[in-house]
Structure 1
Amino acid sequence: MKKRYLLITLMILLISITACTSKKTTDDTYTDDEKTTFAVGFDQDFPPMGFIGEDGEFTGFDLNLAKEVAERLDLELILQPISWDAKDMELESGNIDCIWNGFTITGREENYTWTDAYMANDQVFVVKEDSEIEKKEDLAGKTVVVQADSSAEAALKENQDLVDTFGDYLTAADYNMALMDLQSGAVDAVAMDSIVANYHIEKKDGKFSVLDESLSSEGYGVGFLLGNTGLRDKVQSTLEEMAEDGTLEKISTEWFGKDITTINKK
């Protein structure tokens, strides 16, 4: 009988130890001074923030910022393309240190540890240039597509009355696919980030236009695992330094023709 009680006690102890060692806590501040890498998770189909350039290499405004931050922190930058709807799993597993790719803070404030917003953005509707759709009311009966798990999708959840007027409401894996569908006439409108939409209009062959009425306004930030204040603080301080010495303005001007960043100078 004593052996049976001993066996049960050992089993309970083993389960307790396993649970304690496997649980991911939000108190982990990642202040390890021996850290040598900086793994950035991004959507590789999200120009101009992060995408595959004509040379086959990863490029983009956000990736340029991340590269500069990594160099100043003396860390090896690892650019890790991820599926956008799997970003939380990538972060929680430790496969990436942060999500940095036109990542909207608004509506996610309590889900991640954030830097300050470094850029402002709107969620908008994009239509073909020759479309008869000129305002949101004209979307009634039309086919609208949005990227899965995107800020535009979240904004539309807050505008259910509008969604109910759509003829069909679809999701796409990425905005390149959505805009291809728009170009071909398979859909009538795409709900997406204005910064990305304007980049496509300016740089790509597709002839699109953006409706004047926006869905929502928001800010882009760098998102870390909840509780990872150590690494967040280092990145935040470095972004402030870059704002102060003009590097943010320089990189922004290279991509957008002007400084559209919002990080406050020290």
Structure 2
Amino acid sequence: MNKKIGIIIGIVLLAFLVIGASSAGFLDFLGGNGTADNDNKTLVVGFDAEFPPYGYKDDNGEYVGFDLDLAQEVCDRNNWTLVKQPIDWDAKDSELDSGSIDCIWNGFTINGRENNYTWSKPYIDNKQVVVVKTDSGINNLADLKGKIVETQKDSSALAALEGDQKSLADTFKTLTQIADYNTAFMDLESGACDAVAIDIGVAQYQINQKGSNQYKILDEEISSEQYGVGFKRGNDELKDQVQKTLDEMFEDGTVEKIAQKYNTYGVPGSLITK
């Protein structure tokens, strides 16, 4: 009788060991805890899918863009798998803090956020500009007095207009925050707003898509900023590996080559090469 009990107990213990090993393997596949901790050599990049030329959906429904191309090359050189993860831009911090994404790589502004993330070196010097209809009669920033101006929520243009350029914004009839720049350009086309404050790369993309004769970019810029890759604070190990690979890509000309794909959006001229 005791022998039979011993055999049964042994079988039960063996079953638990098999189940435990299987579960451990499954969790390892997910990255140990089901989050993007990069243990399985997967880089999950969070990005705004409506922010060309850095990250957006093309006519074939594929996520593309300068930053996503850079991320893909970094992954290829490290034998990592790239996961392109579109996110709600307002929820980017919670996505990063929870481990749902490994980094934010999407025309992400360093200025004013220096202490909020662990940053790569800046690689893009970006400008914020104003787009108006060509026949609007608006030719400079002073002409925006009494006008309806739109910009994206939590954007660098908004930060400038609420910060160093607040005196300019105070002359507007209204400064309206919208969810994305596609909506802003529809409003500009319909006459619901008079101008859009926007990143120059995104502005050039939108103008090229809708017809270069219909809109113009004012010569005076609102501000300029630097873009970097943002990691969760303290994640120096991943940042250092990504930065090492980016440095190699700059040195061998790969970054410049990728930037040329987005020449019409002014990306090559915005690169920070030192």
For residues 61 and 34 of structure 1, the distance between their equivalents in structure 2, rounded to whole angstroms, comes to 26
Q: TM-score, normalised by structure 1?
A: 0.84
Give the superposition deviation at 1:41.
0.5
Higher relative contact order (CA 8 A, sep 6+): 1
Alpha-carbon distance change, 192 to 43 in structure 1, aligned in 2, over 3 angstroms: same
Q: Is the 8 A contact 2:52 2:201 kept in 1?
A: no
Tell me, what secondary structure is at the counterpart of 2:262? helix
Partner residue, 1:217: 224
For residues 242 and 45 of structure 1, the distance between their equivalents in structure 2, rounded to whole angstroms, comes to 26
For residues 246 and 168 of structure 1, the distance between their equivalents in structure 2, rounded to whole angstroms, comes to 45
Partner residue, 2:44: 39
Give the superposition deviation at 1:180.
1.4
- List 4+ stretches of structure 1 deviating above 6 A: none
Code of the aligned partner of 1:122: K
Partner residue, 2:250: 243
For residues 115 and 272 of structure 2, the distance between their equivalents in structure 1, rounded to whole angstroms, comes to 21
For residues 87 and 228 of structure 2, the distance between their equivalents in structure 1, rounded to whole angstroms, comes to 17
1:56-135 equivalent positions in 2, closer than 5 A: 56-135=61-140
Alpha-carbon distance change, 166 to 33 in structure 1, aligned in 2, over 3 angstroms: closer
- 1:139 paired with 2:144, answer yes
Measured on the aligned residues, the alpha-carbon RMSD in Å equals 1.6
Give the superposition deviation at 1:34.
3.5
For residues 210 and 70 of structure 2, the distance between their equivalents in structure 1, rounded to whole angstroms, comes to 23
- 1:175 paired with 2:181, answer yes
Q: Is the 8 A contact 2:260 2:268 kept in 1?
A: yes
Give the superposition deviation at 1:186.
0.9
Partner residue, 2:268: 259
Tell me, what secondary structure is at the counterpart of 1:259? helix
Tell me, what secondary structure is at the counterpart of 1:124? strand
Code of the aligned partner of 1:40: V
Give the superposition deviation at 1:89.
1.0
1:183-204 Cα deviation digits (max 9, x unpaired): 1211001111011112222343
Code of the aligned partner of 2:73: E
Partner residue, 2:16: none
Structure 1 regions of 5+ residues with no counterpart? 1-31
Q: TM-score, normalised by structure 2?
A: 0.81
Tell me, what secondary structure is at the counterpart of 1:65? helix
Alpha-carbon distance change, 224 to 33 in structure 1, aligned in 2, over 3 angstroms: closer
Partner residue, 1:190: 196
For residues 229 and 170 of structure 2, the distance between their equivalents in structure 1, rounded to whole angstroms, comes to 33
1:22-61 Cα deviation digits (max 9, x unpaired): xxxxxxxxxx884411000100011111111111111111
For residues 263 and 67 of structure 1, the distance between their equivalents in structure 2, rounded to whole angstroms, comes to 20
Alpha-carbon distance change, 89 to 263 in structure 1, aligned in 2, over 3 angstroms: farther
Code of the aligned partner of 1:222: V
Partner residue, 1:18: none
Identity of aligned residues (%): 55
Alpha-carbon distance change, 251 to 238 in structure 1, aligned in 2, over 3 angstroms: same
Give the superposition deviation at 1:179.
1.2
For residues 217 and 186 of structure 1, the distance between their equivalents in structure 2, rounded to whole angstroms, comes to 27
- Which 10-residue stretch deviates more, 51-60 or 249-258? 249-258
Give the superposition deviation at 1:173.
0.5
Code of the aligned partner of 2:106: N
Code of the aligned partner of 1:233: D
Alpha-carbon distance change, 33 to 60 in structure 1, aligned in 2, over 3 angstroms: closer
Q: Is the 8 A contact 2:121 2:228 kept in 1?
A: yes
Q: Is the 8 A contact 2:160 2:166 kept in 1?
A: no
Code of the aligned partner of 1:262: I
Q: Which has the larger radius of gyration?
A: 2
For residues 91 and 39 of structure 2, the distance between their equivalents in structure 1, rounded to whole angstroms, comes to 28
